[in-house]
């Protein structure tokens, strides 16, 4: 910033209220960083806040969403259902989500046939409700394009998600007209008794697709058959670490946790289940609550202050940023008209007038 901007607390001069005064903020008054909206054209079902979601099939029935959220002491925006080949449309899941004001998300695998996908698209279209549909097709781009056109034609309210593994090597994407969101799917593993974090891979993909809206679907191992090892404390730390990406990458529009348990030949092989322990549930709830409420804002070198119930800036700052302001009793200060405040992060977010 060109100058250090200092100013006022009004109540110090309350005896001079009948005339305008030029005053300065007292020593110790907390400065707030001014942030301005970045240009961004939102995609279907994208919100200003970063959303959170979960797949909880292996934890509890979807008609107990409120019970689950009471357990984690946090609310999700999205709930996820993985469809198996030949399975009937999960109508009760969709209805339960909408009855509880949550967004349903269906995930289709690479084994999905054209006929099955057409049936799903027709059902989604008949409901005429917004929902996410992720097609996780192992980089089969032509198949994705063909199936996505079914949803574009029969179920235009569905937001289409192209999903791929965080360990993927290819950078190719389907036609942009067939993709609303990109999903980075990370089912983390364990080796030598420790979690192999996908944090760097996920961050790298977010940087590569910085101009796209991304959702992160993460499963963190609590148990694997590698050494038959539980890693509850490490999993708690990893969940918090992955969710922190939502604060550093504004193109992340949703972070979803995939809570699952895998058995092979009657033996337990893998678990990322949240219900493995109260400690995991608590860590997950804290991670959900840590997701930033405001996205697509840029920091500026300007500062403001919260004085009473108003956010104020020097009139020079208001002029430079072309802010809509109202007057204050002090000649060098202007009160902002359209803003929100993050007190913990010490930021003032200016909104378009």
pLDDT at 107 > cutoff 90: yes
Share of residues in the chain with pLDDT > 70 (%): 92
**Do residues 223 and 270 make contact, with C-beta atoms less than 8 angstroms apart?**
yes
Task: Among 84-88, 129-133, 315-319, name the one with the lowest average pLDDT.
Answer: 315-319
User: In this predicted structure, what is the pLDDT of residue 353?
Assistant: 59
Alpha carbons 180 and 137: distance in angstroms, whole number = 16
- Under the banding of pLDDT at 50, 70 and 90, the label for residue 293 is confident
Alpha carbon distances (Å) from 74 to 45, 107, 331: 21, 24, 44
pLDDT at 191 > cutoff 50: yes
User: In this predicted structure, what is the pLDDT of residue 15?
Assistant: 37
pLDDT at 333 > cutoff 90: no
Residues 6+ apart with CB under 8 A from 78: 51, 52, 53, 54, 102, 103, 104, 105, 132, 254, 256
User: In this predicted structure, what is the pLDDT of residue 227?
Assistant: 80
Name the E strands within 45-176.
Answer: 51-55, 78-82, 103-109, 131-136, 158-165
DSSP code of residue 15: G
Stronger pLDDT, 18 or 74, i.e. the higher one? 74
Q: What is the pTM of this model?
A: 0.84
User: In this predicted structure, what is the pLDDT of residue 18?
Assistant: 40
User: In this predicted structure, what is the pLDDT of residue 226?
Assistant: 82
- Under the banding of pLDDT at 50, 70 and 90, the label for residue 25 is low
User: In this predicted structure, what is the pLDDT of residue 193?
Assistant: 86
- Which tens digit of pLDDT belongs to each residue from 235-284? 999 999 999 999 999 999 999 999 999 998 888 899 999 999 999 999 99
pLDDT at 21 > cutoff 50: no
For residue 315, the SS3 value is helix
Task: Give the pair of three-digit tokens for residue 130.
Answer: 């917004």
Q: Where in the chain is the domain with CATH 3.20.20.80?
A: 51-290
pLDDT at 3 > cutoff 90: no
For residue 189, the SS3 value is strand
- Half-sphere exposure (Cβ direction) of 118: Cα atoms closer than 13 Å: 4
User: In this predicted structure, what is the pLDDT of residue 2?
Assistant: 30
User: In this predicted structure, what is the pLDDT of residue 179?
Assistant: 97
User: In this predicted structure, what is the pLDDT of residue 352?
Assistant: 72
Task: Report the candidate in 95, 35, 88, 84 with the shortest Cα–Cα distance to residue 311.
Answer: 35
Average pLDDT over residues 318-335: 84
**Do residues 33 and 347 make contact, with C-beta atoms less than 8 angstroms apart?**
yes
Domain 51-290 sits in CATH 3.40.50.300: no
pLDDT at 1 > cutoff 80: no
């Amino acid at each position: 910033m060109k100058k250090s901007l200092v100013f006022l607390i009004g109540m110090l001069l309350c005896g001079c209220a009948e005339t305008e005064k030029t005053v300065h903020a007292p020593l110790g008054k907390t400065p707030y960083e001014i942030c301005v909206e970045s240009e961004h054209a939102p995609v279907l079902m994208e919100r200003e806040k970063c959303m959170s979601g979960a797949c909880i099939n292996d934890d509890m029935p979807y008609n107990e969403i409120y019970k689950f959220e009471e357990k984690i002491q946090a609310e999700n925006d999205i709930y996820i259902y993985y469809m198996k080949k030949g399975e009937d449309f999960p109508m009760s899941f969709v209805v339960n989500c909408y009855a509880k004001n949550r967004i349903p998300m269906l995930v289709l695998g690479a084994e999905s046939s054209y006929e099955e996908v057409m049936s799903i698209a027709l059902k989604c279209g008949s409901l005429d409700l917004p929902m996410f549909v992720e097609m996780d097709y192992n980089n089969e781009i032509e198949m994705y394009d063909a199936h996505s056109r079914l949803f574009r034609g029969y179920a235009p309210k569905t937001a289409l998600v192209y999903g791929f593994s965080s360990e993927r090597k290819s950078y190719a994407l389907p036609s942009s007209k067939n993709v609303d969101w990109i999903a980075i799917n990370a089912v983390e593993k364990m080796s030598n008794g420790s979690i192999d974090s996908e944090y760097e891979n996920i961050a790298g993909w977010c940087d590569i697709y910085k101009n796209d809206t991304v959702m992160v679907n993460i499963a963190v191992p609590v148990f694997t058959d590698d050494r038959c090892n539980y890693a509850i404390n490490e999993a708690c730390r990893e969940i918090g670490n992955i969710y922190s990406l939502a604060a550093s990458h504004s193109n992340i529009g949703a972070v979803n946790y995939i809570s699952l348990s895998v058995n092979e030949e009657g033996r337990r092989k893998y678990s990322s289940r949240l219900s493995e322990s109260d400690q995991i549930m608590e860590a997950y709830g804290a991670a959900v609550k840590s997701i930033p409420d405001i996205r697509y804002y840029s920091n500026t070198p300007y500062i403001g202050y919260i004085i009473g119930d108003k956010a104020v800036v020097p009139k020079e700052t208001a002029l430079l940023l072309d802010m809509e302001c109202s007057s204050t009793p002090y000649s060098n200060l202007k009160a902002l008209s359209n803003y929100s405040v993050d007190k913990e992060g010490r930021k003032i977010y200016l909104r378009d007038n």
